[in-house]
Chain A
């Protein structure tokens, strides 16, 4: 068995999946064996809308280093926004 703690959050926004754009309602974040990435473990993020079925999913599998860099990049981008914008 190869799975660890899963963080689940609700989100507002949109994602683009195999069938085009759809409204997001949930996201899960977990460290596990990847489906595709060439690594033993990856930090996986699924952006989801379960009400639209299993295929309403935007998935990424990142190395731990990449995931940490992403967190910093998101924080940096948000912090640089002009006052009152976000």
Chain B
């Protein structure tokens, strides 16, 4: 099987017509390929996130990660950019949808695209993946331990985030949720609430929840990494995308 791939930094059109930086990895075979928008975590558009982007390409998907901090910190290192974005209250929801929408359009317009597109996000990106799936026409979405899809941020919380439960009726595609049972944001109770809300609205979804895992169990460069949970999670992702995004 021909397995060559290419990965590179490109520029795409994001919210408001802004040109923003993005990292693209794509198989070099003829396709057709599904497209995955990878939404990076709070610590930013960093090297581990780019590894995830390449992983999707190695599995036959065109994957694109927009740098959500392009505007605050063009050219800055990922950690400095993340600190700047954090100090300004994070990424506004409207802008996130515009940036992810631009990435989706880019992927669907690629010559080898099969016309299908999905989102996956980690940490804050998990919530943003859900938000994108409620705001854009997608074929699949994955929420990896995103907080405040349901539940209200505590007083003094520095980010401009609002719960998204009211958007459940707008969810445009099947949702895969992957959560650690030792996580506090989202807590197991909040995952229960989201699960019930999706079921009540008749929205197709599958949740997998892992004992012994907390927040960020996919993050291979952090002490939160839980290999068993992450390996099972990746297997669930391949199955889910195989059913909804491939071909």
Query: Beta-carbon contacts of A19-59 to B below 8 Å, as 1s and 0s?
Result: 00000000010101101101110000010101001110101
Q: Please name the residue on chain A nearest to B128 by beta carbon.
A: A1
Cα of A28 to Cα of B123 in the assembled complex, Å: 22
Chain A residues positioned under 8 Å from B43 (CB to CB): 33, 35
Are A1 and B156 within 8 A (Cβ)? no
Are A57 and B83 within 8 A (Cβ)? yes
B119-144 residues at the A interface, CB under 8 angstroms: 123-124, 127
Cα of A38 to Cα of B81 in the assembled complex, Å: 21
Which residue of the partner chain, among B86, B185, B216, contacts A6 with CB atoms under 8 Å? B86
Are A3 and B73 within 8 A (Cβ)? no
B79 within 8 A of A: yes
Chain B residues positioned under 8 Å from A39 (CB to CB): 223
Rounded to whole Å, the gap between the CB of A33 and the closest CB of chain B is 7
Are B158 and A5 within 8 A (Cβ)? yes
Rounded to whole Å, the gap between the CB of B21 and the closest CB of chain A is 14
Chain B residues positioned under 8 Å from A85 (CB to CB): none
Chain A residues positioned under 8 Å from B124 (CB to CB): 1-2
B85-111 residues at the A interface, CB under 8 angstroms: 86-87
A16 within 8 A of B: no
Given A5-B157, A33-B43, check contact A59 B123 (CB 8 Å): no
Cα of A36 to Cα of B216 in the assembled complex, Å: 14
Chain B residues positioned under 8 Å from A6 (CB to CB): 86-87, 158
A68 within 8 A of B: no
Query: On chain B, which size bracket covers the interface?
Result: 20 to 34
B54 within 8 A of A: no
Q: Please name the residue on chain B nearest to A46 by beta carbon.
A: B83
Chain A residues positioned under 8 Å from B81 (CB to CB): 54
Cα of A50 to Cα of B123 in the assembled complex, Å: 26
Are B42 and A1 within 8 A (Cβ)? yes
Are A54 and B148 within 8 A (Cβ)? no
Rounded to whole Å, the gap between the CB of A49 and the closest CB of chain B is 12
Cα of A33 to Cα of B222 in the assembled complex, Å: 9
Chain B residues positioned under 8 Å from A38 (CB to CB): 223
Given A57-B80, A59-B79, A59-B83, check contact A3 B223 (CB 8 Å): no
Residue ranges of A at the interface with B (Cβ–Cβ < 8 Å): 1-6, 8, 28, 30, 32-33, 35-36, 38-40, 46, 48, 50, 53-55, 57, 59
Closest 9 CB pairs between A and B? A1-B147, A54-B73, A54-B76, A54-B84, A6-B158, A54-B80, A35-B79, A5-B156, A1-B124
